């Protein structure tokens, strides 16, 4: 959320303690890379990279030490069970690793490898640790919600001494080829190999072993050393290397002045996965780099470090880096023309992923296409069971749908949350908030939410208000409510450890805090100073947490108050890598190392549950923003990309970061518009609002040391430019909300990269600076470079494209770019032919005030004369949509008819109408704009509307194209109910 060098004026009584605190963390204006580990500073990563190097260097002579005993392998009812034997010494000693491969009706396959000795708790913990002895196996409890019904129709197509082949999935088109010695699994689709587990033999599951204390080296007598040195000089043969493994990071590990006691010893899991013929891989957020992931083993344009997943408080993060950030979704998609596959690595511990690419060797006499590229990946996690899911596509849509079935889809949002959010650290008082609200109205700038950062509290004590500066929060909330607006306040997981504070008293007395390795309440430093952390893995802690948000308990909050969870990685200022010690203990005696990447999601989940009902009889959709996240976080709210900078580079980086969130199943994502740190010049701020208007989560935010930069503070023409971008967002609100509904239904991204929408257009696979909005056909390429007044837009198909603002038909060709003029007041936006999208064109100051406005339909006629699109609408607040109280329409232009029908074929007359549906009876289609209208309509003055069994004439006005505008027609006023069937005949 903020840098750690901000002076905190209310701490005058703690100046001495602050001096100590400030010495514990790095000061500066940018992230200190030395505060965070590189692979060679992370023992298990270094060990597994070395293991991989050894295997690859030995090539075909490498013998992977893992094999399946064929006598213990069995397949029944969609489940394959076996024991992998790991050979651990030259004597042939083995350890047993239970293997399960589950084949699901959804088409996914799940591969799980555990360790029998730990599973049976037959190990000894060091340091009298209270930690669990098993490998962590509860990640699915937090991440998985469905899609694991076993496919009883899966069948064996081959079984022998060397392996087994199992067919599964739709029409038995998928196959798992399980080899026994060495162990590997190759996954095929329609007989073609797609990916392989343990392809290069890099699998490494560090089994438990007791620590053997080695005797100290014998002390040499005087004169012995010189004698030995002289004798060694005489020897010509090389000295043998020491026997055994390097144990230096097995038993304890220090970094940044902190020592990890590692009571279970080495326990990492690693596996290599090869994607055959795939040149592009995407996903594994969160990183500040390109959408198409880079190689990580050095070389031209490659990183030298693996991608790291270890949720961390990284302020002013560096760009184009595999360095870890605030969240972790271990889902990777591999894509090539006509095919997408994916793997989901279900592990909550610190994880590193290496990526390399190599050309297949081909017979030099072979004809045809050149060699294909294989992408090799190496997944390395510190602890836990080896647990992964395989998706065989074949389309990006199939991947996201199956992943959504597995981990859940994005929640249907509060409709206001799709509007614009105004935030800074901090609005200093309730009067300040009221004044910002008034000025936004005075300048006719729409917005929906104003935010309060930590300074609203009394001395950083959450669930309190600063009695001097926020004397009357109810009055503040009431003014916002009268204008149709909302308030968001911040609540972080660290609770100030101080006297006369009921929240910390209850936390401690009920035993609900995270524990240190000795089992006592963990005390660390964060914004309040000495703090303790809520352990939301504990159901009792969640129950207690929910009680704190009741309107009757959190005084000053109202029905229009919502929540923001920050610092939930968790951020601990005096902890290793600015987070919690790995040997801390959570509910169930799991070590923090086991659950680190899930920790933030558990806190976000608890806040979501708290907001569902804050008084008797209330049940509403929550809004809760999180900084830290994991697979499944999409079910409960939104995220943002953290502490960015007011720079053109960070503006540019925001787009691939948000696109990556979308294809990784968490599409309700945004970046701080304007940059959190620093002071953007007017051009940068304007361009950022133009880009932000197309972020799914759209929030302006600024650091406490940054100058005030609310949109109305800009001088003209920039104020008008920003206002236009905001109004564009609001006019397209029906299309945005429809895109959110589609994401909720099938896991699709809200803004979509080229490879996702056009999986056959190879020129678009590496493009991450332009995108389509939902299924609208609206193609956007924000300007992200200073002084630039045109943009080259890649065209992925041979459909017609029009300029959004002028309706001009553009001269485009599939696989080519077109240059679009983009002066400072303009955003490069194209409309793809063949689509229909809804708008609301009456300017309003908030989403709430637009709820019952009429609609405009924009019909962008395709090259074949057709177009199609959808509208989804509901009350934007309750869960009544789950009872059928919503409007979902399909609009279709075919031949000479434009029709509106229920998108799901429902008989809408049978739906019991609540207040919202009743009010929507008075909401109609106001006008229809037909872009690319044929010249044959030039003399047409009216068209025939049929609605409710009645026919009527509706005016049609045709506009010929000229040098500045393409031809179009306007039909209206139409007056047909938005929720009813109707048709218009243009014959």
**Given 382, 405, 569, 874, the catalytic residue:** 569
Helix (H) / strand (E) containing 600: helix 592-612
Tokens representing residue 927 in the block: 């006008």
Tell me how crowded residue 283 is: count the other CB atoms within 10 A of its CB: 24
Tokens representing residue 696 in the block: 């799914």
Exposure string for 156-176, b = 16+ CB within 10 A, e = fewer: eeeeeeebbbbbbbeeeebbb
At a CB cut-off of 8 Å and minimum separation 6, what does 322 contact?
Answer: 287, 289, 294, 296, 303, 305, 306, 307, 308
Tokens representing residue 398 in the block: 């199939």
At a CB cut-off of 8 Å and minimum separation 6, what does 130 contact?
Answer: 517, 518, 519, 585, 589
Strands annotated E in 503-570: 524-526, 529-533, 561-565
> Rounded to whole angstroms, how far apart are CA atoms 237 and 239?
7
CA nearest neighbour of 850 among 420, 523, 472: 420
For 526, how many CA atoms within 13 A lie in the half-sphere containing its CB? 30
> Rounded to whole angstroms, how far apart are CA atoms 671 and 789?
23
Query: Residue 246 catalytic?
Result: no
Tell me how crowded residue 717 is: count the other CB atoms within 10 A of its CB: 13
Exposure string for 514-537, b = 16+ CB within 10 A, e = fewer: bbbbeeebbebbbbbbbbbbbbbb
> Which whole-number Å values give the CA distances from 459 to 455, 606, 685, in the listed order?
8, 24, 33
**Given 448, 609, 643, 791, the catalytic residue:** 643
At a CB cut-off of 8 Å and minimum separation 6, what does 86 contact?
Answer: 65, 66, 94, 95, 97, 205, 207
Helices and strands (H and E) in the chain: how many: 17, 50
Query: Residue 902 catalytic?
Result: no
Strand, helix or coil for residue 595: helix
What 8-state DSSP symbol labels residue 72? G
Contact 697, 638 (CB under 8 A): yes
What 8-state DSSP symbol labels residue 674? T
Exposure string for 820-858, b = 16+ CB within 10 A, e = fewer: bebebebbbbbbbbbbbbbbbeeebbbbbebbebbbbbb
> Which whole-number Å values give the CA distances from 210 to 69, 96, 135, 144, in the listed order?
26, 16, 16, 34
3-state secondary structure 111-135: EEECCHHHHCCCCCCHHHCCCCCCC
> Rounded to whole angstroms, how far apart are CA atoms 462 and 450?
18
Cβ-based burial of 950 (10 A; exposed 0-12, middle 13-18, buried ≥19):
exposed
Contact 108, 353 (CB under 8 A): no
> Which whole-number Å values give the CA distances from 448 to 111, 412, 843, in the listed order?
45, 17, 13
CA angle, residues 262, 267, 269, in degrees to nearest 5: 140
> Rounded to whole angstroms, how far apart are CA atoms 187 and 174?
7
> Rounded to whole angstroms, how far apart are CA atoms 868 and 865?
11
**Given 186, 206, 267, 566, the catalytic residue:** 566
Query: Residue 279 catalytic?
Result: no
> Rounded to whole angstroms, how far apart are CA atoms 651 and 732?
22
Question: Which residues are identified as catalytic?
Answer: 566, 569, 643
């Amino acid at each position: 959320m903020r840098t750690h060098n901000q002076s905190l004026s209310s701490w005058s009584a703690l100046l001495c303690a602050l001096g100590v605190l400030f010495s514990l963390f790095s000061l500066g204006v940018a992230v200190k890379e030395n505060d965070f580990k590189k692979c060679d500073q992370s023992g298990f990563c270094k060990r597994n990279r070395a293991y991989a190097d050894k295997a690859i260097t030995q090539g075909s002579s490498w013998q992977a030490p893992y094999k399946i005993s064929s006598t213990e392998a069995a397949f029944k009812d969609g489940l394959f069970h076996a024991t992998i034997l790991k050979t651990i010494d030259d004597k042939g000693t083995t350890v047993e690793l239970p293997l399960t491969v589950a084949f699901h009706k959804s088409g996914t396959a799940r591969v799980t490898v555990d360790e029998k000795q730990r599973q049976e708790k037959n190990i000894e913990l060091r340091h009298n640790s209270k930690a669990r002895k098993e490998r962590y196996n509860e990640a699915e409890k937090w991440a998985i919600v469905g899609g694991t019904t076993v496919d009883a129709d899966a069948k064996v197509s081959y079984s022998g001494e060397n392996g087994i082949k199992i067919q599964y999935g739709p029409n038995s088109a998928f196959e798992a080829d399980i080899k026994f010695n060495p162990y590997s699994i190759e996954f095929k689709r329609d007989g073609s190999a797609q990916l392989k587990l343990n392809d290069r033999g890099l699998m490494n599951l560090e089994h438990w072993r007791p620590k053997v204390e080695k005797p100290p080296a014998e002390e040499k007598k005087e004169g012995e050393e010189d004698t030995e040195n002289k004798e060694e000089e005489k020897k010509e043969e090389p000295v043998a290397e020491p026997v055994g493994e390097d144990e230096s990071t097995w038993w304890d590990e220090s970094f940044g002045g902190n020592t990890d006691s590692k009571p279970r010893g080495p326990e990492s899991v690693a596996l290599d996965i090869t994607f055959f013929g795939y040149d592009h891989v995407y996903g594994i957020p969160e990183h500040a780099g390109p959408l198409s992931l880079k190689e990580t083993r050095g070389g031209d344009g490659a990183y030298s470090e693996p991608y790291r997943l270890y949720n961390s408080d990284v302020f002013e993060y560096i760009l184009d880096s595999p360095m870890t950030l605030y969240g972790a979704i271990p889902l990777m998609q591999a894509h090539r023309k006509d095919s997408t596959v994916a793997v989901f690595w279900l592990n909550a511990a610190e994880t590193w992923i290496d990526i390399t690419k190599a050309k297949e060797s081909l017979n030099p006499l072979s004809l045809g296409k050149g060699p294909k590229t294989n992408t090799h990946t190496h997944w390395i996690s510190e602890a836990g069971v080896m647990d992964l899911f395989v998706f065989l596509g074949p389309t990006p849509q199939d991947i996201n749908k199956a992943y959504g079935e597995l981990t859940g889809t994005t929640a249907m949002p509060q409709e206001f949350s799709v509007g614009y959010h105004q935030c800074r650290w901090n609005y200093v008082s309730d009067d300040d908030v009221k004044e910002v609200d008034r000025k936004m109205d005075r300048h006719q700038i729409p917005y929906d939410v104003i935010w309060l950062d930590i300074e609203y509290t009394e001395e950083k004590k959450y669930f309190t208000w600063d009695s001097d500066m926020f004397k009357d929060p109810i009055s503040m909330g009431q003014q916002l409510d009268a204008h149709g607006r909302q308030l968001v306040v911040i609540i972080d997981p660290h609770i100030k450890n101080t006297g006369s504070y009921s929240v910390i008293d209850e936390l401690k007395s009920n035993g609900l805090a995270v524990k240190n390795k000795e089992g006592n309440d963990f005390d660390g430093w964060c914004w309040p100073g000495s703090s303790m952390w809520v352990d939301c893995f504990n159901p009792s802690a969640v129950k207690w947490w929910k009680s704190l948000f009741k309107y009757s308990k959190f005084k000053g909050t109202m029905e229009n108050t919502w929540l923001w969870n920050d610092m939930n990685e968790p951020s601990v200022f005096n902890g290793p890598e600015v987070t919690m010690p790995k040997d801390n203990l959570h509910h169930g005696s799991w070590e923090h190392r086991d659950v680190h990447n899930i920790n933030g999601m558990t806190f976000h989940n608890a806040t979501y549950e708290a907001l569902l009902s804050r008084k008797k009889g209330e049940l509403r959709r929550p809004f809760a923003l999180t900084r830290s996240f994991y697979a499944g976080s999409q079910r409960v709210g939104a995220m943002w990309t953290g502490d960015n900078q007011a720079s053109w580079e960070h503006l540019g980086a925001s787009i691939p970061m948000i696109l990556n969130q979308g294809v990784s199943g968490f599409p309700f994502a945004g970046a701080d518009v304007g940059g959190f740190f620093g002071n953007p010049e007017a051009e940068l701020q304007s361009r950022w609002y133009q880009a932000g208007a197309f972020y799914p989560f759209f929030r302006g935010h600024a650091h406490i040391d940054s100058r005030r930069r609310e949109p109305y503070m800009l001088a003209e023409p920039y104020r008008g430019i920003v206002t236009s971008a905001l109004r564009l967002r609001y006019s397209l609100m029906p299309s945005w909300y429809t895109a959110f509904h589609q994401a909720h239904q099938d896991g699709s991204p809200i803004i979509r990269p080229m490879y996702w929408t056009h999986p056959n257009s190879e020129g678009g696979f590496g493009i991450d600076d332009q995108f389509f909005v939902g299924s609208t056909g609206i193609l956007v390429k924000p300007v992200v470079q200073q002084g630039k007044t045109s943009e080259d837009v890649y065209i992925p198909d041979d459909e017609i494209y029009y300029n959004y603002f002028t309706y001009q038909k553009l001269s485009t060709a599939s696989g080519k770019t077109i240059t679009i003029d983009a002066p400072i007041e303009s955003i490069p936006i194209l409309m793809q032919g063949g689509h229909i999208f809804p708008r609301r064109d009456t300017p309003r100051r908030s989403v709430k005030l637009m709820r019952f406005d009429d609609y405009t339909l924009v019909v962008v006629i395709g090259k074949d004369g057709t177009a199609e699109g959808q509208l989804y609408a509901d009350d934007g607040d309750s869960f009544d949509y789950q009872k059928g109280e919503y409007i979902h329409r399909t609009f279709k232009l075919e031949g000479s008819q434009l029709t509106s029908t229920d998108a799901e074929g429902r008989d809408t007359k049978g739906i019991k109408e609540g207040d919202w549906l009743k009010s929507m009876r008075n909401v109609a289609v106001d006008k229809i704009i037909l872009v690319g209208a044929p010249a044959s309509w030039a003399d047409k003055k009216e068209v025939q509307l049929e609605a409710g069994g009645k026919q009527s004439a509706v005016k049609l006005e045709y506009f010929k194209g000229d040098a500045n505008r393409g031809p179009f027609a306007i039909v209206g006023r139409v007056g047909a109910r938005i929720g009813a069937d109707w048709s218009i005949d243009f014959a």
